[in-house]
Amino acid sequence: MNESHIGFLIWLACGLLFFGIGIWCFFSKKQVGFWANAETPKMENVKAYNRAVGVLWLVYAAVFCVLGIPMLVPQPSALIMLSVAGVVFETIVLIVVYMHIEQKYKKK
């Protein structure tokens, strides 16, 4: 096993953490937060909000894991930049989608 395989396993471990967050959000009874150290506004339908946030994290985790596949290439130096750029873009999309979820379920 070479360095790129070890890097891919670490990448997958991080992806599994995101899967864990998604599953926890999906089944949580209390309203989950998204932003660190920030109070989440009260939601009208907490169960639907938690499920939406959970699905968001599960999709994020799946795409994150797929973006790590270039690490399996023997000389992945240029492809790793593609993975990193993909994660940056994916994270921006995550934030935008969450903002729509928050607006949809926020108490008016």
d(CA 28, CA 26): 6
d(CA 34, CA 62): 18
Top pLDDT among 105 and 3 is at 105
> Which sequence spans correspond to the domains of the chain?
3-105
pLDDT of 50 reads 96
pLDDT in tens, 17-52: 999 999 999 999 999 999 888 888 899 999 999 999
- Which of 12-16, 36-40, 88-92 bottoms out in mean pLDDT, i.e. has the lowest? 36-40
Local structure of 28: helix, strand or coil? coil
On whether the CB atoms of residues 31 and 42 are closer than 8 A, the answer is yes
pLDDT of 36 reads 84
Range 78-85, long-range pairs (CB < 8 A, 24+ positions) = 83/11
pLDDT of 30 reads 93
d(CA 76, CA 97): 31
pLDDT of 12 reads 96
Under the banding of pLDDT at 50, 70 and 90, the label for residue 74 is: confident
Q: Where are the alpha helices (DSSP H) in the chain?
A: 3-27, 46-67, 77-105
pTM over 0.85: yes
